[in-house]
Amino acid sequence: MLRQYELVEQVKEYNPASNEALINRAYVFSVQRHGAQKRASGDPYYSHPIEVAGILTALKLDDETIVTGILHDTLEDTVTSHAEIVHNFGENVARLVDGVTKLSKIEAMSENERAAENLRKFLLATSDDVRVLLVKLADRLHNMRTLHFIPDAAKRGRIARETLDIYAPLAERIGMYNFMNEMQTLAFAELEPEAYASITARLAELHHEGDQIARIGSGITMLLGRAGIKATVYGREKHPYSIWRKMAERHVSFQQLSDVMAFRAIVPETDDCYRALGLIHRRWPVVPGRFKDYISTPKRNGYRSLHTSVFHSEKVRIEVQIRSQAMHNQAEYGVAAHWSYKQDSKAGDEQVRWIRELVEILEHAESADEILEHTRMAMYQDRIFTFTPKGELFQLPKGATPIDLAYAVHTALGDQAVGAKVNGRVVPLRTLLENGDQVEILKSKAQQPQPYWLNFAVTGKARAAIRRYVRHKERDEQIILGRKLYDDIVRRLPRKLSKNALELALQRLKLTHVDDLMVAIALQKIDDHSVLEALMPGNMEVVLAGLKDRNRRPVSIKGLTPGVAFQLGQCCKPVPGDRIIGVRRVDEAIEVHSIDCPSLASGADADWIDLAWGEGSEGAPARIEVIVRNEPGALGAIATILGGHNANILNLNLDHQDMEFHSFVIDIEVKDRQHLAKIMAALRATDIVSQADRK
């Protein structure tokens, strides 16, 4: 563990003007507050925040960030209050510590709302000050370095998986590749110990086969030196996790993986990068398709470098990265380079713009799953570059389509998109874009976002906008359907409602708006009896009696002894006019079924009774299946037809949905078979209905 004076000395090495008293005060405060707490290793708990601060000194960060590292666990793991940190260390440090504490709470990243809400809060804090993320990444890195001390294998696996899924991609997105590589390696060793051991053993064998890396590195240095380019060349094997991932992606063995070695050439200026590239390409054959220019088109996290792969004369394929010293500093420290003690704290603002964009998307997300989906998409996906006809450059995820670009330009353009021209050729919106494509979005004011766009939209912004529109349209349809059902309930009441009955009913149901009631009725979150009781409290018996009297005349069945109990079969739901038969089972009421009911085949042990409907029988529930096109207004159209034919909707379920069609199973109350036939004919005659059948 770092001693107090050692930590101060590390800070003063790069920042002689550091506030030594502030760091000493934080050190003592952390030791006192954590007291006798122990880590799984048996070390005092305060050793952890001190080591986190030590990791941050390697990034040459300012005093406030170092102090935040020392104090980052005090709010969560001790009795320290926010006010105490403000009093002793200032408002900025307290705000940073609070932001790190919020991120710590997402580590049990399950599918619950609290985890998603904590992630949302953390991203808000990070978008305001990226130092929150720097401290948390240092915290996670030290936890991974000491992971082996945790005795619970399941807990170790959970922490390693979180690191691989969340923290390593976060480090990559802000350009901190050293953090990313170490976290990935440590997590890989825990999650795939056999694969890790096999790859590291093979890498060790390469060392014993001769210092090939040193020879190749010296050759590149001499090649560039003869041309007057002073270069520092580093060589290394790729990291075990990177090798394992390439083996999995390409379905090859370690022996078949030819680009295990990578070299980095650091040159003085940007022009030297391109000169060095030309020399290397003239000296060794280029591997086709492996050249990437991240200088002219930097990665979204600000990373700049030239990447190329060549077939070296030692019969190996190697990767070479060429960059200037300034680019190298950026690649080593990422956004942390802009938060060093001597830099303008806003210099790295451009690099964390993606966090602010993500926050904007999350503000409109409906569920925890959506929040986590958008976050992971924003962290994981590789980027491609596309251009508008005006030459504007847009970075999009690999696999993006024109609809993603349309929403990236402007939400209104995405909403009205009908197609695109890619490199002058008209293509559908689902077309995959390639790096360097010039894309013109074709639009129409009559267009609206379509639900099936979600099948090929990949950016968080596009998916969030489409979902938001679909949710609003669905709510509009639900309100229309709920209003139809509500009006039907009111029509069957025994007396007229008072003027303020609906307003009072909303209060009793604890709803704030009429539309909320209509949606609840449409989605069956509130049953008819609850609505009736809210509209006419204390009169339920009268209401139900009135409904019974007004809805139908009693159903009578010929062929039964008067007074014998019977019930209509729920499987076939016979209505007056159907040919019917009775089934008598021991100690059960007689069941009345349609003559063609499939369940009759299983009733071999029951007695069958020939039955018929009595005179004047009317009113019974029928079940129908309606398949409609996936278009706005579909539910409203169905409800209008049923209401126009005086058919009360008893129940409605979405049975199946896909990109083109939705299938609904609806229980309706009809007078008789003829009434049902008219309803079915009206449904089938409607353009939006593809199929309507009795179920």
Hey, which residues are catalytic here? 76-77
Q: Are 314 and 338 in contact (CB under 8 A)?
A: no
Helices 402-409/460-491 angle, 10° precision: 90
Q: 455 to each of 340, 355, 434, 459, how far by Cα in Å?
A: 44, 25, 18, 12
- Cα 260 to chain centroid distance, Å, stands at 33
Reference 616, options 660, 557, 559, 567; nearest CA is 557
**Which residues pair with residue 440 across a beta bridge?**
421
How many whole angstroms separate alpha carbon 150 and alpha carbon 109? 19
- Cα 500 to chain centroid distance, Å, stands at 44
How many whole angstroms separate alpha carbon 351 and alpha carbon 349? 5
Instruction: Copy the structure tokens of residue 242.
Output: 């990177």
Q: 399 to each of 54, 56, 60, 622, how far by Cα in Å?
A: 40, 36, 38, 47
The angle formed by the CA atoms of residues 43, 49 and 52, to the nearest 5 degrees, is: 110
SS3 584: strand
Query: In sequence order, what are the residues at sequence separation of 6 or more whose Cβ sits closer than 8 angstroms to the Cβ of residue 108?
Result: 115, 158
* Residue 590 backbone class (left: φ over 0; alpha: ψ -120 to 50; beta: rest): beta
Q: Which long-range contacts (CB under 8 A, 24 or more apart) does 352-359 make?
A: 352/126, 352/127, 352/130, 352/174, 354/173, 354/300, 354/378, 355/123, 355/126, 355/127, 355/130, 356/127, 357/460, 357/461, 358/123, 358/460, 359/120, 359/123, 359/124, 359/127
395-417 in b/e form (b: 16+ CB < 10 A) is ebbeebbbbbbbbbeebeebbbb
**Which residues pair with residue 44 across a beta bridge?**
38
Alpha helices in 536-663 (DSSP H): 540-551, 634-644
CB atoms within 10 A of CB 280: 21
Task: State residue 620 phi and psi, 5-degree precision.
Answer: -160, 150
Q: Are 407 and 413 in contact (CB under 8 A)?
A: yes
Task: State residue 117 phi and psi, 5-degree precision.
Answer: -65, -40
Instruction: Copy the structure tokens of residue 676.
Output: 């049902």
Query: In sequence order, what are the residues at sequence separation of 6 or more whose Cβ sits closer than 8 angstroms to the Cβ of residue 659?
Result: 451, 452, 455, 630
* Residue 149 DSSP class: G
User: To the nearest 10°, the Cα dihedral for 598, 604, 607, 610?
Assistant: 40
Helices 514-522/501-508 angle, 10° precision: 70
Reference 264, options 329, 205, 201; nearest CA is 329
One-letter amino acid of 67: V
